[in-house]
Structure 1
Amino acid sequence: MTNSARPSADSSGAPPAGSASPPSRAEQPRVNKPVLIGSSVGILAVALWAILDRESADAVIFAVVGWVGGTFGWYYTLLVVAVLAFVVYVAVTKVGKTRLGPDHSRPAFNLFTWTAMLFAAGIGVDLMFFSVAEPITQYMQPPRGEGETIEAARQAMVWTLFHYGILGWGLYALMGMALAYFAYRHNLPLSIRSALYPIIGKRIHGAAGHAVDIAAMLGTIFGIATSLGIGVAQLNYGLYFMFGLPEGTAMQIALIAVAVVMATASVVSGVDKGIRRLAELNVLLAVALMLFVFFAGKTRFLADGIVGNIGDMIARFPGMALDTFAYDRPDDWLNAWTLFFWAWWIAWAPFVGLFLARISRGRTIRQFVTGVLVVPFAFIALWISIFGNSALDLVMNGNTAFGEMAISTPERAFYGLLEQYPMVPLSAAIATFTGLLFYVTSADSGALVMANFTSKLPDSEADGPNWLRVFWAVVTGVLTLAMLLVGGVPTLQAATVIMGLPFSVVLVFIMMGLFKALRVETALAASYRNGLPGALSSRANAAGEQRRGWKQRLARSMAYPGPKQAQRFMLETACPALGEVKAELESQGVEASLNIEPLNGSGIDTVDLFVDFGPERAFKYQVYPVRKNLPSYARASSATDKYYRMEVFSLEGSYGYDLYGYSQEQLIADVLDHYEMHLEFLHQTREALHTTSVAEHHNVTTGWDDDYQTTEKKEG
């Protein structure tokens, strides 16, 4: 069937009859060899260099990071602010109502599960590491002013919240929104390159697209390796703290091996099972640990601190967001903290963004951006305020030994804090297990996403093959070990600053491409507003209700057709009506096609009228039977609990109204309403953009495999 955008779920979340079938052998995921080979060679070369020539690798990495920080510090600062402004602007404007998928699609995961997965994938064990170590470090060694003062304490908490705040989550929101929009709205592959389609067109399927995905892979794996390196160091000390197991390279190798095994088991089970369940358990344990410290410690002081920290953050955020330290630049501090965090968020953006897109189909842009910016940071603010203020309280009340430990060996700081509370064996055990879950959820999500990056997927719901997920879980472990051998966590942080730079340029083009594509959505909305009186703006009434008598309307409102009645409507009304429109269009020189296909196992056909507009977006009017649950008040007179709605679908999805009961003339009038609105949309698009590169894609492809087969034939 030509360019048929299939409805994926009915109102209950179950696929409509015949809308999905298992992929055939030809539709199974295939390896994207250029990206797999290119990224593997680059990653393994760095890992081997680090293992075989430690001193040279360490010296070169820190020399390069010094140059990057000194030369591009302003650029990192400006980029993260621009990204946040862009995603907020998109969310609050009218285009924020656009769904990340067809118009009829709805989210597959409830709010708790969704936020648990995005939080667990987007943060990781480093939150435990920095929530205690950073406030103390900024308090005792601030970038400006005198340390160990009341002002230094307030600013220390603000710096920690700033580095973990909405600027970083804005990067995640941009990537997730762009990937989900192009994959689920325009049927492009769920890959970084897809977001550049409005900029470079079909070249995303060639060398330019491969280069983009390789850059994303390098940034992603170094970002994940940094988190895993931090996790290994902290878990190593946690096992020493609880059981006396030795700290050192041998134990860290063992921990990496255990984490790779656990991540492999989780990622092979898929998003709906392993990753989902681990993420939910992870969040529940983290909440329990946070509440324990809140109530076992100085509860009133911590409550005051939460409110005060949020107030300071709101008041100081604008100045801090654009502060480049131009007049008193602390280079070492910037490279180790703010610039490292921005590069780290950028490096994680492809990984987390693709994972967020994978779990966010059906949400509106506004829902997506609001959820990504607000929900995880609300938890982070509570976590950092509770643990950070608890740690500061110890140091400010004379426990200088704890403060010095947090600075010199930050992996010990979290356990050092728990040691000040009762039931330390239990709290330490929960902390260790929570840290392990953070560690594993980062590793398994990363392996899944990197397998997708290096695969050609038959559709946006598919994932890379299991063996490739295992491969990337192992490679991540090897890279983490190599960088720990070179110089530990500081070297991993430095490498992240370097690897984040190339992909930051890609982020700029992604913003440009998404802006261009969303202007097409704006033009589409304008075509509806400017449509004829009988058009979609008053669909439920104008298209049909005003054109039939009251008896017909009453009969239609009481009709709940089964498969036989639905098929009769298709054969006697829908197919003849669309056939007449097709014939008339062709008589006037318009290229049109009529496609009729049976829905598997339902005994009902679907009919699709398709009009090709060359380089501009095609017109599609599809009558598609959607199975629904029969209302309870109608079940007494029916032998079944299901019925069918004859819904209208375009390239954007279902319009949400039922054609059953229309006559041929009424259905033809409805088709013409849509057709005239589509012509208005094309006019609005030309006026607004002078180009239709995004719209063009609907006419030339139905997915990744078709485009790749075409490209490979041309290249080979």
Structure 2
Amino acid sequence: MSQNATPPASTAGMKNADPKSQQPSAGKNTPAADAGPEATTRVNKAVFFGSAFGVLGIALWAIVAKDNAEAVIGSMVGWVSTNMGWYYFLIVTAVVVFVLFAAVSRVGRTKLGPDHSKPQFGMFTWAAMLFAAGIGIDLMFFSVSEPVSQYLAPPQGEGGTAEAARQALVWTLFHYGITGWALYALMGLALGYFSYRHNLPLSIRSALYPIFGKKIEGPMGHAVDIAALLGTIFGIATSLGIGVVQLNYGLNFMFGIPENLSVQIGLIALSVVMATVSVVSGVEKGIRRLSELNVILAVALMLFILATGKTNFLLDGIVQNIGDVVSRFPAMTMDTFAYDKPTEWMNAWTLFFWAWWIAWAPFVGLFLARISRGRTIRQFVLGTMTVPFLFIVLWISIFGNSSLELVMGGNMAFGDAAMSHPERGFYSLLAEYPAVPLTAAVATFTGLLFYVTSADSGALVMSNFTSHLKDADSDGPEWMRVFWAVATGLLTLAMLTVGGVTTLQNATIVMGLPLSLLLVFIMLGLYKALRVENSLNDSYRASLPGIITGRSSDLRGGRTWRQRLSRAMSYPGRRQTIRFAEAVAVPALQEVEAELKAQGAETALTVTTVEPCGIRSIDLQLPMGEERAFKYQIYPVQYETPSYATRRADPDDHYYRMEVFSQEGSYGYDLMGYTKEQVITDVLDHYEQHLEFLHLNRAAPGNTVLVEDQVAKDNWESDFDMQEETK
């Protein structure tokens, strides 16, 4: 779908001058060096050349032998609809169930990032970005043409009736609704979870690591990424093809510019040029500002139709449409029309839409993951599946019911135009309302910007998928982004040359099939990983009661209430924190390590100085065979001193906490003021909890480690002082 999904820039402002001063050594389980973060971003040659040759080969074949291409694609679509239609219905329904279960279950509290991570964006900004991701030029295309088409030629029953009108809006909302956003949520969840929580590359193959291990670093992983990229580029090409046809008619409507292939080639070239300008001149922020303007213009256009049309009828329609979708969705999602199959209708609508959503899932999923670091799985899934859909419901209900009202009122010329020439439907509707020159201009400008930002951000995502990124917030090289912008334009042109939008739709159905197989493995990989998260949560509850807050050590140490009050009111500065690290924390973990070694255990104790504060960080790790290693790290985290503090130890208005980190992140409590014995007690509490975690997973040896090689990486940002500023 032509979503406005431009990923946020990786060079956003940070609050601290030296971000590295707040990076704890997370010790995450990562794959071999070639799978983890890179020293610099470089090309993934196998994926780049494999996908590039595939795309260019298909494009040239379609241009040189278009009759053969049209015949082959048509026969493949016929085979898919005859033999695999049930599979498309089944897989998308399984995705809906899977992501909703993940959200509402206990594992929904798990974060897309370390346990201590905080969202980069506030709730309102995040919701606004989800909202912006939900609209595009294809929504303008189908919000008029599909309701009219379903009303006049429904898949079953008689057209032109009240029931046909009611069902027409339900079909449109069904095709643009919960199912599609569940596909986006699954892909975004997989990318965000494995990248931000387990330091795996921000690529599709990472979601398969729990199943195939290091094998995904070879041909298997390359094939996965190539399949994802091919599906993505066909999905984007379909959106651009629809956008070209829509914009071509808009220019004809306003200026009399003819509708032909030459004009469409010019529009494709325009998108490539603007995407290229975005790369070489660094105007990505400007493009994003225009994208935000798009949203404003789209909302204004929708409210104009609501205000100048039959407002009461449209409001009644919105309420009824929502009720019909809720009540009819469970049956529709599994309705394969087994006893009276309208094959041509299914190819043109449901199968095409499911394949299209699947093809777009890696693209939009990456965008959603990039803006959702620090969100819980529950927040991410429910937000993704509700915020954009609420806008889509309003948009389709207003424009769709306005269109039906005209057709039901006897305007069959409009109905025939919207059904036979869908690109004309939106403008034909605007022609029935006042100020059509202005509204048509706004619609064309809005569509043009959606069209260009889709090409630009699509090229960015594909350059990321064909690169070894140095970290999850980096982007592929600029020249590669230009290449994919040109390749997408060439593919769009090739498919339009063969047979227009219909051929693009058919190609999407075919290319979505292999990508849909990946969804099965992605769900299996996530299921395995989230089972481990559940066991980890169970081990917390089964362990000593104060382990999460640090209170168990406090209680066992016999601390008096005056000592506890003094500690609670203290905001220690740098010198006091250094003394604690040298006199208490380091000796405590050294004693624990010595005793572990005396008991025959293999340990690794690392003491480093965190710059620029000069405070020691102490990291104790204990290998556990084929299971997840035990990790206990004490790390200094800097905070601003609150205004209510009565005892300020540092004139610079900041203080330090010596926080405890495990493999999953910070536990969020402070050891400052503890005695050496209390620190040792806290280490043992965590060690016993880790043994309980391994015990709960004893039925499946080795499944607590998502990746095979355990390489400590200093790759977690401290989300206490490094929150990305949003303005």
Q: Displacement of 1:467 after TM fit?
A: 1.9
Alignment of 1:51-62 (within 5 A): 51-62=63-74
Alignment of 1:115-514 (within 5 A): 115-121=127-133, 123-266=135-278, 273=285, 276-514=288-526
Match for 2:350: what amino acid?
A: T
Residue 639 of structure 1 aligns with which residue? 651
Match for 1:513: what amino acid?
A: G
Residues 431-485 of structure 1 deviation map (CA, whole Å, 9 limit, x = unaligned): 1122122222322222222111111112222221222222212211111111111
Residue 603 (structure 2) pairs with residue 579 (structure 1): no
8 Å Cα contact 1:615-1:699 kept in structure 2: no
Partners of 2:135 and 2:504 lie apart in 1 by 16
Partners of 1:384 and 1:651 lie apart in 2 by 46
Residue 621 (structure 2) pairs with residue 610 (structure 1): yes
Residues 286-328 of structure 1 deviation map (CA, whole Å, 9 limit, x = unaligned): 1111111111111101000001111111221121111101111
- Is the helix fraction higher in 1 or 2? 1
Q: Displacement of 1:690 after TM fit?
A: 3.8
Query: TM-score, normalised on structure 1?
Result: 0.92
Q: In terms of mean alpha carbon deviation, does 101-110 or 550-559 score higher?
A: 550-559
Q: In terms of mean alpha carbon deviation, does 539-548 or 410-419 score higher?
A: 539-548
Residues 312-370 of structure 1 deviation map (CA, whole Å, 9 limit, x = unaligned): 11221121111101111111110110000111111111111122112211000000000
Partners of 1:444 and 1:15 lie apart in 2 by 32
Match for 2:629: what amino acid?
A: A
Residue 610 of structure 2 aligns with which residue? 599
Alignment of 1:34-73 (within 5 A): 34-73=46-85
Q: 1:441 to 1:11 in 2, by over 3 A?
A: closer
Q: Displacement of 1:15 after TM fit?
A: 8.0
8 Å Cα contact 1:117-1:276 kept in structure 2: no
Q: 1:540 to 1:605 in 2, by over 3 A?
A: closer
8 Å Cα contact 1:116-1:280 kept in structure 2: no
Partners of 2:365 and 2:123 lie apart in 1 by 17
8 Å Cα contact 1:11-1:628 kept in structure 2: no
Q: 1:278 to 1:546 in 2, by over 3 A?
A: farther
Q: Displacement of 1:523 after TM fit?
A: 0.6
Partners of 2:284 and 2:644 lie apart in 1 by 35
Match for 2:217: what amino acid?
A: H
Q: Displacement of 1:404 after TM fit?
A: 0.7
Secondary structure at 1:18 match in 2? helix
Residue 708 of structure 1 aligns with which residue? none
Match for 2:189: what amino acid?
A: M
Residue 546 (structure 2) pairs with residue 543 (structure 1): no
Residue 710 (structure 2) pairs with residue 699 (structure 1): yes
Secondary structure at 2:619 match in 1? strand
Q: In terms of mean alpha carbon deviation, does 360-369 or 473-482 score higher?
A: 473-482
Secondary structure at 2:607 match in 1? strand
8 Å Cα contact 2:210-2:707 kept in structure 1: no
Secondary structure at 1:159 match in 2? helix
Alignment of 1:77-92 (within 5 A): 77-92=89-104
Q: 1:14 to 1:101 in 2, by over 3 A?
A: farther
Match for 2:171: what amino acid?
A: W
Identify the structure with bigger relative contact order (alpha carbons < 8 Å, sequence gap 6+): 2
Secondary structure at 1:184 match in 2? helix
Partners of 1:58 and 1:531 lie apart in 2 by 64
Partners of 1:348 and 1:315 lie apart in 2 by 27
Residue 18 of structure 1 aligns with which residue? 21
8 Å Cα contact 2:694-2:704 kept in structure 1: no
Match for 1:469: what amino acid?
A: R
8 Å Cα contact 2:134-2:392 kept in structure 1: no
Alignment of 1:506-525 (within 5 A): 506-525=518-537
Residue 639 (structure 2) pairs with residue 628 (structure 1): yes
Q: Displacement of 1:633 after TM fit?
A: 2.1
Residues 167-188 of structure 1 deviation map (CA, whole Å, 9 limit, x = unaligned): 1111111111111111111111
8 Å Cα contact 1:267-1:447 kept in structure 2: no
Partners of 2:601 and 2:118 lie apart in 1 by 35
Partners of 1:172 and 1:114 lie apart in 2 by 16
Partners of 2:478 and 2:646 lie apart in 1 by 45
Q: In terms of mean alpha carbon deviation, does 152-161 or 476-485 score higher?
A: 476-485
Q: 1:616 to 1:636 in 2, by over 3 A?
A: closer
Partners of 1:341 and 1:10 lie apart in 2 by 39
Residue 682 of structure 2 aligns with which residue? 670
Partners of 1:68 and 1:318 lie apart in 2 by 24
Q: Displacement of 1:273 after TM fit?
A: 3.3
Partners of 1:274 and 1:94 lie apart in 2 by 41
Query: TM-score, normalised on structure 2?
Result: 0.91
Partners of 1:117 and 1:209 lie apart in 2 by 31
- Gaps of at least 5 residues in structure 1 are 1-8, 705-716
Q: In terms of mean alpha carbon deviation, does 114-123 or 621-630 score higher?
A: 114-123
Partners of 1:514 and 1:405 lie apart in 2 by 46
Q: Displacement of 1:698 after TM fit?
A: 7.0
Q: Displacement of 1:254 after TM fit?
A: 1.8
Secondary structure at 1:632 match in 2? coil
8 Å Cα contact 1:629-1:643 kept in structure 2: yes
Residues 207-263 of structure 1 deviation map (CA, whole Å, 9 limit, x = unaligned): 111110000011000001101110111111112222222322222122122222333
Match of 1:102 among 101, 105, 114: 114
Secondary structure at 2:698 match in 1? helix
Q: 1:298 to 1:511 in 2, by over 3 A?
A: same
- Gaps of at least 5 residues in structure 2 are 1-11, 25-36, 716-727
Q: In terms of mean alpha carbon deviation, does 264-273 or 566-575 score higher?
A: 264-273
Partners of 1:703 and 1:39 lie apart in 2 by 32
Match for 2:432: what amino acid?
A: Q
Match for 1:604: what amino acid?
A: I
Q: 1:244 to 1:635 in 2, by over 3 A?
A: farther
Residue 34 of structure 2 aligns with which residue? none
Q: Displacement of 1:272 after TM fit?
A: 8.5
Secondary structure at 2:21 match in 1? coil
Partners of 1:110 and 1:330 lie apart in 2 by 46
8 Å Cα contact 1:483-1:491 kept in structure 2: yes
| Root mean square deviation, CA, Å | 2.3
8 Å Cα contact 1:136-1:406 kept in structure 2: yes
Secondary structure at 1:699 match in 2? coil
Q: Displacement of 1:542 after TM fit?
A: 2.2
**Aligned residue pairs: how many?**
690
Partners of 2:544 and 2:478 lie apart in 1 by 52
Partners of 1:267 and 1:361 lie apart in 2 by 25
